Amino acid sequence: MRRASSTPTQTAHETVRNIRHALIRRGAALVVGLLAAVAWVPGGLGAQVGDRASIDTAPPPAHWKIPPAPVRSPDESMRMMDLQPGFRIELVASEPLVQDPIAFAFDHRNQLWVLEWPSYNWPLHDVLPGLEPQPTPVSRLVVLKDTDGDGRMDTRTVFAQMDWPRGIQLVDGGVLVFALPEIVVLRDTDGDDKADLREVLQGGLPIPVNPHLAPSSPSWTLDNWTYGLQVDQRLRLAGDTTLKVPSGRLAGQWGMSHDDFGRLFFSYNQDHIRGSLVPAAYATRNPHYTASAGVDVRVGMDNDVWPHAITPGVNRRAQLRDDGRLAAFTANAAPSVYRGDQFPEAYRGNVFVGESAGRLIRRSVLTERDGIITGKNAYAEREFLFSHDERFRPVFSATGPDGALYVADMYRGIIEGHIFMTTFLRNQIVERGLQHPFGGMGRIYRIVHEGRPLGTLPTIAPGNVAAWVPVLAHPNGHWRDMAQRMLVASRSKAVVPAVRTLAMSHEDPRVRLHGLWTLEGLGGADDDLVRARLTDTSPHVRIAALRVAEGRLPAAAMRRAVMALADDSDVSVRRQVLYTLGASDASDVGDARMRLLRRDVAAPFVIDAFMSGLAGREAQTLDTVVRSPSWASDRPEHRALVTALATAISNEGRAEQVAALRRLSSESNAGVPWQREAVLEGVQASNRARQPATTAAPPRDAATAALVEQGRAAYALCAACHQADGRGLPSLAPPLAGSPRVTGPPDALVDIVLRGRDEDPAYPSMPPLAALPDDQLSAILTYVRQAWGNAAPAISADAVRARRGSATGAMRP
């Protein structure tokens, strides 16, 4: 931990220099150089880095009536918003009080903490007319206050300045910030609302070329841990100690929220609600098998959007319907679970998602069945909110302390990322002056239901820890969370009896849930309490009690109480029993887990729940399965189990067990044919098969070796999506390690990078890289063909040049 100097921020010159160095180290200079190389031609354009097809360069159809897009005052902008009947929108703060907001949080004193990112898309200063190169501005975390109680913020204090801000989470006595490349806790020790203490919790986080794939969005949830997007650990602050443990990676792009039961929700640009429906930490518990099922699940089933008017300011013309309206999500931000009490009851648990390019906010109604959650638009071909103001950019939302829904509007003419700029969008920007002003504006709004008053805010005197206990029963989830955090942070044993009473007997299961987790955080959840909550009437409380019970399984009485839930009527509870028993190697646990597996093997995520706690016992289990008549029938779930077991065994790599796998998958084996096929599939899917340690790259002469090293540096352009280890990201980018497309015919691979690729429905389309010179493409392609166990020959610059020349340009018709 270190105390900040008397000048807590760097000078502008130092900041710019450090950002430039950080970006160059990660290859972002590639993109800036590409953008700068695209010349502006009056009346027309050269190809842009985001152009993928001829339609990306075509002008809008003549019948589109595209309105002007001037800067409007907050009052003018609000008058241009279509909001569902029964609601109104109110201004909370606007420029200059708030500028370029990307996230916010209310503290226990109802002060509003806002993260501002003025440098977003800053490389456009080098390439758009009227935007001259300028020093990159620093980002800010500011504190806004409403000193006269009129509902609008009226004072602003800069708490801290930083580079690359990617999310905040209020914590005990301070604020946790993803300020890349670090995760820090900033504290104010003298009460002036300015940070004077800075503790680095973690360093070395990546700053990718594409900021949408950077680590972001620290989010505390009910289990007292803080999770983030694009990171592999979860954090927990416990006094002066910071706990960091591996956790399954949540691969969302911006913003994360949790429901009343602690399940996490996030999104991708083209997939507006994803969810972690099981605790992400279980994904990495078995070192031989990544049990990721349930950690990143599609929740929003309808990605079509329904703007109420034309929305031409998007990247690609092909994204628009014939009438000029956006057809599907493309720029999602911060799905927010509404947990307040100001909206009618039917809105509780709904998810609100801002689509910043489409200038709308979607309301999705969630439905749960057998532990699976799905979401659907609440309106037929309409949205909860749509703005006719081109510059309205809803990038973040959250339930406020008064129960209203708060929305951050970055208020910019350009919101699409600079590395995806198309000719179509650039024309829109320049013709309508969307680049002026570039930044420095922003609004925060409050959406209120007109039929209900705003909620009353609790007032807790400083130091009165006991006064937080009844707040655990507040009807607004914002305050229940706040009370739990404050109580756990207090480390007060004096409040344990009162919290225990709530956990044991409150009529609302949400309150019992908070009581249980609060006691867990305070170290006051004894065995009697846990066993009592294992029989709670709410399945969500039973699931939480099972999680709390994991550290107590050495006690036979606790194991028996857990195993009694193997016959629970709720499949999501039985699935959690599998996860929980996986924390024990007691002799009576194995049979119970196998019985549960046989019963629920076809249920969602159950195989991964079983595999999560099986480390070291996979070979024995596979032997049991292939010999047992109970598993002999050829069913999809039986195949999936055998494949998972074979994958884990192959990953572990013990010679005698791998040899046994080879015998099982051999044609000479007299076993069941489908089992041989499933074993072979598991071996092929294993990490060892995808990244064979024994496979060497082909021999390299000096020229090829130099090309590989050049490509290693330039690959930073691709690593944001495909990852530094070539494994890709689920639903975002396919793996390059072990990919037949990468190691296959060179011409096909060159065509993909020159023209882009969008035929695979499992992943968003890939933009073309035709703007890169032939030698740079040659280096990147040679590197990926010889990295991570890939062993394919180099691709020369001449080969790239030949393919470029043989195509009809770099774009497809």
Terminal CA-CA length for the chain: 57
Judge whether residue 272 has pLDDT over 60.
Answer: yes
> Contact, 784 vs 742, CB < 8 A?
yes
pLDDT of residue 49: 67
pLDDT at 481 over 80: yes
pLDDT band at 501 (very low <50, low <70, confident <90, very high): very high
Q: Is residue 778 in some structural domain?
A: yes
Mean pLDDT over all residues of the chain? 88
Cα dihedral sign, 354-357-360-365: negative
Give the chain's domain count: 1
Tracing tokens 């009056």 back to the chain, one arrives at 42
Residue pair 391/402 in contact (Cβ under 8 Å)? The answer is no
Q: What is the mean predicted confidence (pLDDT) over 426-441?
A: 95
pLDDT at site 324 = 96
H/E stretch holding 94 reads strand 87-94
Omega of the bond leading into 344 within 30 degrees of 0 (cis)? no
Distance CA 551, CA 365 (A): 36
Cα 258 vs. chain centroid, distance in angstroms? 12
- What residues pair up with 91 in beta bridges, in sequence order? 445
pLDDT of amino acid 712: 86
Q: Please write the tens of the pLDDT for every residue from 33-50.
A: 444 444 333 334 456 767
pLDDT at 106: 97
The pair phi, psi for residue 742, each rounded to 5°, is -75, -45
- Rounded alpha-carbon distances, angstroms, from residue 723 to 196, 327, 348, 647: 36, 29, 37, 22
Phi then psi for residue 155, to 5 deg, are -130, 150
Residue 418 is which amino acid? H
- Using the predicted structure, report yes or no on whether residue 422 has a pLDDT greater than 70: yes
Higher pLDDT, residue 453 or 741: 453
pLDDT, tens digit, for every residue of 714-754? 887 677 678 777 878 766 678 898 888 898 899 989 988 88
* Mean pLDDT (whole number) for 71-82: 98
Nearest to 312 by CA among 120, 52, 128, 59: 59
Binned at pLDDT 50, 70 and 90, residue 206 comes out as confident
Question: Which two three-digit tokens encode residue 258?
Answer: 């949790």
Angle at 522 between CA 399 and CA 285, to 5 degrees: 80
How far apart (Å, rounded) are the C-alpha atoms in residues 574 and 588? 17
- pTM equals 0.88
Query: In this structure, which long-range contacts are made by residues 161-165, counting pairs with CB atoms below 8 Å and at least 24 apart in sequence?
Result: 161/8, 161/9, 161/10, 162/138, 163/15, 163/18, 163/19, 163/22, 163/138, 163/139, 164/19, 164/22, 164/139, 164/207, 164/211, 164/214, 165/102, 165/115, 165/116, 165/117, 165/139, 165/141
- Any domain includes 722: yes
For residues 329 and 797, what is the distance between their CA atoms, to the nearest angstrom? Answer: 37
Which of 443, 459, 395, 398 lies closest to 110, judged by CA? 459
Mean pLDDT to the nearest integer, 96-119: 97
Report the pLDDT value the prediction gives residue 121, as an integer from 0 to 100.
93
Q: How far apart are CA 71 and CA 76, in angstroms?
A: 9
How far is residue 280 from each of residues 82, 85, 349, 393, 485, measured CA to CA in Å?
38, 38, 21, 31, 21
Domain that holds residue 778: 702-806
Exposure string over 753-765, b if 16+ CB within 10 A, otherwise e: bbbbbeeeeebbe
User: Domain for residue 276, yes or no?
Assistant: no
Please report, as a single letter, which amino acid is at residue 813.
P
The predicted-structure confidence for 298-350, as pLDDT tens digits, reads as follows 999 999 999 999 999 998 888 999 999 999 999 988 899 999 999 999 999 99
What is the reported pLDDT for 761? Answer: 55
Residue at 761 is within a domain: yes
Q: DSSP assignment, residue 692? A: -
Q: What pLDDT is stored for residue 36 in this prediction?
A: 46
pLDDT for the residue 39: 36
Q: Taken in order 480, 486, 491, 492, is the CA torsion positive or negative? A: negative
Q: Residue 31 pLDDT > 50, yes or no?
A: no
Residue ranges with strand state E in 95-181: 101-106, 112-116, 139-145, 155-162, 165-171, 174-179
Q: Taking Cα atoms as reference points, which of 405, 479, 443 lies closest to residue 152?
A: 443
Please report the pLDDT score of residue 695 as a whole number: 46
pLDDT of residue 202 exceeding 80, the answer is yes
The verdict on whether omega for the bond into residue 437 sits within 30 degrees of 0, i.e. cis, is yes
Q: What percent of the chain has pLDDT over 70?
A: 89
DSSP string for 27-72: THHHHHHHHHHS-EETTEEPPPTT--BGGGTSPPPTT--PPP----
Lowest mean pLDDT among 435-439, 614-618, 694-698, 711-715: 694-698
Listed residue (352, 458, 454) closest to 403, CA to CA: 454
DSSP 788: T
Closest C-alpha among 772, 643, 780, 804 to residue 38:
772
- Could you give the angle at which helices 618-627 and 636-652 cross, rounded to 10 degrees? 150
Tens digits of per-residue pLDDT, 793-813? 999 999 999 998 775 443 332
Contact between 529 and 561 (Cβ < 8 Å): no
User: Residue 771: inside a domain, yes or no?
Assistant: yes
In 387-508, which ranges are continuous DSSP H helix?
Answer: 423-432, 477-490, 496-505
What are the structure tokens assigned to 127, written together? 């390439």
Helix 746-755 with 797-806: angle, nearest 10 deg? 60
User: Using CA atoms, how far apart are residues 59 and 428, in angstroms rounded to an integer?
Assistant: 9
Give me the mean pLDDT over the 381-393 stretch. Answer: 98
Q: What is the pLDDT of residue 12?
A: 34
Q: Which residues contact 96 (CB under 8 A, 6 or more apart)?
A: 440
Phi and psi (nearest 5°) for 765?
-65, 150
Amino acid at 33: G
Closest CA to 165 of 233, 204, 116, 114: 116
| 721 within a domain of the structure (yes/no) | yes
Asked whether residue 129 is domain-assigned, the answer is no
CB 154 within 8 A of CB 148: yes
Mean pLDDT across 151-163: 96
Six-digit token pair at 400? 């406020």
CATH number at residue 713: 1.10.760.10
Share of the chain above pLDDT 90, in %: 69
pLDDT at 21 (0 to 100): 39
The string of pLDDT tens digits covering residues 603-643 is 999 999 999 999 999 999 999 999 999 999 999 999 999 99
Q: pLDDT grade, residue 157 (50/70/90)?
A: very high
- For residue 488, is pLDDT > 80? yes
Q: CA separation (Å) from 800 to 49, 53, 330, 714?
A: 17, 19, 31, 16
Q: What is the dihedral of CA 211, 212, 215, 216, to 10 degrees?
A: 110
Q: Any alpha helices (H) in 653-731, and if so which ranges?
A: 655-665, 673-685, 687-690, 702-714, 716-722
The pLDDT value given to residue 308 = 97
Range 476-492 average pLDDT? 97
- Phi, psi (deg, nearest 5) at residue 634: -85, 95
Look at residues 674, 606, 612, 609 and name the one whose alpha carbon lies nearest to residue 642: 674
Radius of gyration, alpha carbons of the chain: 27
The DSSP code for 250 is B
Give the Cα separation of 645 and 631 in Å (integer): 14
Residue 747's H or E segment, with its range, is helix 746-755
792 vs 360, residue with greater confidence: 360
Reported as a single tens digit per residue, the pLDDT across 511-544 is: 999 999 999 999 999 999 999 999 999 999 999 9
216: part of which helix (H) or strand (E)? Answer: strand 216-220
Residue 731 lies in a domain: yes
Identity (one letter) of the amino acid at 329? F
Lookup: tokens for 238: 């416990």
Angle at 286 between CA 539 and CA 722, to 5 degrees: 100
Q: Residue 178: which pLDDT band, with cuts at 50, 70 and 90? A: very high
